[in-house]
Chains A and B, each alone.
Chain A
């Protein structure tokens, strides 16, 4: 899409705001609407927009395939490991209470980590699916 100058400029202008909004939804999900699922999708949408306008190759340079694949497994692993950490600390699986001094802090920290895992996996999967679809013919 080399000829669409307006699209290219507007994309570059919008991109930081989309990514920032994704992070806001991720880390503000416990106070307002939102959470890992929505944040992951918004974050992925930013990169997909970039890939649509500048080409998948350019997007792949920013986010190499290894990072995306690591993210797919890493997010889920983070979620599961938070549960294992609770087991080690003598509570039930995915009961976050022992992660910090008080129940409130432990639950809050656990929810934060778990939502982060959800966000990482969702964003990585969405980007991987789009990139794979977009480059399938070239392979």
Chain B
């Protein structure tokens, strides 16, 4: 049963990707991107990774779609026709895909308790989280406490992104006089 759910969701994801590659209307592409994220979130739910699914649904399907639409409002809605033939990109994509599939042949079977990833720190976290932090959600404990440095770095990335947008497009540019801006646009 679970395998069928996976197959159906993956099939829909493949269809979405083909539609994205074919379409020239960027608004439709953004919408399909949101649908793709939602399908990915469903896959994560099937895999019992609810925290990841939650992030994918809220960030991937929700806020990125909104930000993409905001970008489209600032730029244009129709993609230009590419000048070159799509043959070379197709070959590159096919080779990359083949290499990726070749790579999965050596990967551990999904959910295998004997795989290296399950043998190293995972049992330590599962055993000690309750003892150390008293928190039932191991994911939160790992993110905020055991791997606190990583999360600090991630927040710094978000912070930097926000500062970058403010510097590039922010309203402080109102102070720049109209003539300077006109000069900038000419350049």
A: residues with CB less than 8 A from B are 25, 29-38, 41-42, 44-45, 48, 65, 69, 72-73, 75-76, 79-80, 83, 93-94, 96, 103-105, 107-108, 110-111, 114-115, 117-118, 121-122, 124-126, 128-130, 132-137, 139
Residues of chain A within 8 A (CB-CB) of B59 are: 37-38, 41
* Cα A69 to Cα B11 with chains together (Å): 43
Residues of chain A within 8 A (CB-CB) of B173 are: 139
Interface size class of B (residues with CB under 8 A): 35 or more
B161 x A129 contact (CB < 8 A): yes
Q: Tell yes or no: B115 within 8 A of A by CB.
A: no
Question: 18 A-B contacts, Cβ less than 8 Å apart?
Answer: A31-B137, A33-B54, A34-B51, A34-B54, A37-B55, A38-B58, A72-B159, A72-B162, A76-B156, A107-B132, A115-B140, A121-B159, A132-B166, A133-B70, A133-B73, A133-B165, A135-B171, A136-B169
* Cα A96 to Cα B132 with chains together (Å): 10
A121 x B158 contact (CB < 8 A): yes
Residues of chain B within 8 A (CB-CB) of A133 are: 67, 70-71, 73-74, 165, 169
Question: Interface residues of B: mostly helix, strand, loop or mixed?
Answer: helix
* Cα A31 to Cα B66 with chains together (Å): 29
The 7 A-B pairs at the shortest CB distance, nearest first, are namely A125-B162, A133-B70, A94-B148, A107-B133, A104-B134, A33-B50, A111-B144
Interface centre among B144, B151, B161 (most CB of A within 10 A): B144
* Cα A129 to Cα B134 with chains together (Å): 36
Which residue of B58, B140, B162, B166 is within 8 Å of A42 (Cβ)?
B58
A82 to chain B: closest residue by CB = B148
* Cα A33 to Cα B73 with chains together (Å): 34
A44 x B54 contact (CB < 8 A): no
B162 x A134 contact (CB < 8 A): no
B130 to chain A: closest residue by CB = A104
A139 x B171 contact (CB < 8 A): yes
Q: Tell yes or no: B143 within 8 A of A by CB.
A: yes
A134 x B70 contact (CB < 8 A): yes
Q: Closest CB of chain A to B173's CB: distance in Å?
A: 6
Q: Closest CB of chain B to A85's CB: distance in Å?
A: 13
Residues of chain B within 8 A (CB-CB) of A79 are: 151-152, 155
* Cα A107 to Cα B137 with chains together (Å): 13
* Cα A107 to Cα B138 with chains together (Å): 13
* Cα A80 to Cα B151 with chains together (Å): 11
Residues of chain A within 8 A (CB-CB) of B133 are: 104, 107-108, 111
